[in-house]
Amino acid sequence: MREFLRANTDILVVERARRKEIKRHLSEEEIDELLREAEDKHRLRRLGFLKNLYRGDSIPEAADREGRSATTGGRWVDAWNEGGIEGLMPSFGGGRPPKLEEDEQQELVELLREGQPWKSQEIQHLLMEEFDVEYSASYLGTFLRNLGLSYAKPRPKRPHQPDNPEEILEERVDDALDEGDSPHNKEPEDPEKGWVVDDDICTDGGTVLGFFDASKPQPYDNSRRVWYVDDPHIERPLVKTEDSAVGFYALNGDSVVSFEENEKKEQICGVLEQVREQNPGKRILLVLDKHGSHVCAYTRKRAHQLGIDLIFLPTSSPHLNPIEKVWDYLKWTMAPIIVEDEDEFKELVEETFEQITNRISFAKKWCKKFVSFQDLS
């Protein structure tokens, strides 16, 4: 793929190069004199390129004879046409000249952009193959950062994520805030029967907004570093749980967490009933992903009966659900704590979840983007 991109780039450059006029600021004899006097390899290379042009080479041919690409040759011609020999020659600001001149650095960035991402060893190989230069491993990172590159773990793009997930969610939140007569959770193809709010449910006391998701924290999660004097190992009892922790992180109401043996629709609806019980008298807006047990008609109808309007996240967009940060922080907080059995662990999860969900900081950026507390009054 990288070779294909470079080949196509060179084709475009060649086509443009054929249309460029070469100005003759100097005679061929004057260029020969400069070649005899030049000692720096950078000057020799550019003068040799110019000499090749004078002898009838095309820009790509003249550049290739000097071990440079057609892109570099095109930039050299522009510099020569505009500024003559002073424009063509590299200018160093004192001290040791850089291994790559400014235009060569630009060419390197373009090559790296076409084939990104790169490993350090691959860049070293590219520098040697294309420019015949080598940087020490200790300096390479500094050099690349000075060129504007970033060194980070690549985040895989989820194949089914839409191009505009934030815009989609913003529209869904606005739609949910706009209370209408028809059930918010109902799809056009759903049967009419059963889409009625339960008689004992009251929703005229304001609006509660929260985030819903399941997780599987374990007693052996170890995501936190702690200090030791001696050997950094912890002996832990072999405790684990097969149950899922299903949580509701409320911004302006009461949060809920419940351990369930699975995440089927019946268990999910059972947790929704707990959410309703802990937040009586108010309409509930609940943000959640499109897990099968969430989007099915059974759950959507039961949520409506409970006075809960569901706001589904765009596909493959867990980063838009602040409860993900809650789970991460919960696991980090609990990492050094040793428990003796499963019951103690579940109790610890419930206590920790209750404590940290009293903070709205996990959803601060989300609220700034999608909703204000005035909308919930």
- Residues of the domain holding 331: 165-223+237-376
Last residue of a domain, one of 93, 111, 146: 146
| Residue 281 lies inside a defined structural domain of this protein | yes
| Residue 218 lies inside a defined structural domain of this protein | yes
Residue 376 pLDDT > 70 = no
Amino acid identity of residue 200, one-letter, is D
| Residue 155 lies inside a defined structural domain of this protein | no
Confidence band of 232 (pLDDT split at 50, 70, 90):
low
Helix (H, G, I), strand (E, B) or coil at 215: strand
Residue 4 pLDDT > 60 = no
- Give pTM, 2 decimals: 0.60
For residue 297, give both structure tokens: 């008609």
Residue 179 pLDDT > 80 = no
Contacts of 153 (CB under 8 A, 6+ apart): none
| Residue 156 lies inside a defined structural domain of this protein | no
| Residue 157 lies inside a defined structural domain of this protein | no
**Which string of DSSP letters, residue by residue, matches 27-87?**
-HHHHHHHHHH--SHHHHHHHHHHHHHHTT--HHHHHHHTT--HHHHHHHHHHHHHHHHHH
Q: How far apart are CA 210 and CA 177, in angstroms?
A: 13
Output the CA torsion 165→168→170→173 (10° steps). Answer: -120
**Whether residues 121 and 250 fall in one domain:** no
Confidence band of 34 (pLDDT split at 50, 70, 90):
confident
Mean pLDDT of 335-352: 90
Mean pLDDT of 312-324: 94
Q: How far apart are CA 246 and CA 260, in angstroms?
A: 7
Q: How far apart are CA 286 and CA 248, in angstroms?
A: 8
Q: How many domains does the chain have?
A: 2
Give the pLDDT score at 12: 44
**Whether residues 174 and 89 fall in one domain:** no
| Residue 228 lies inside a defined structural domain of this protein | no
CATH of the domain at 305: 3.30.420.10
**Whether residues 95 and 122 fall in one domain:** yes
**Whether residues 118 and 215 fall in one domain:** no
Mean pLDDT of 11-26: 64
**Whether residues 129 and 271 fall in one domain:** no
Residue 97 pLDDT > 80 = no
> 139-143, 172-176, 296-300 — which is least confidently predicted?
139-143
Average pLDDT, the chain: 84
Residue with more model confidence, 375 or 2: 375
| Residue 206 lies inside a defined structural domain of this protein | yes
Contacts of 141 (CB under 8 A, 6+ apart): 120, 151
**Whether residues 179 and 69 fall in one domain:** no
**Whether residues 124 and 193 fall in one domain:** no
Give the pLDDT score at 96: 47
**Whether residues 184 and 142 fall in one domain:** no
**Whether residues 39 and 183 fall in one domain:** no
**Whether residues 170 and 122 fall in one domain:** no
Catalogue the long-range contacts made by 124-128 (C-beta closer than 8 Å, 24 or more residues apart).
Answer: 127/100
**Whether residues 251 and 198 fall in one domain:** yes
Residue 159 pLDDT > 90 = no
**Whether residues 286 and 348 fall in one domain:** yes
Confidence band of 236 (pLDDT split at 50, 70, 90):
low
| Residue 287 lies inside a defined structural domain of this protein | yes
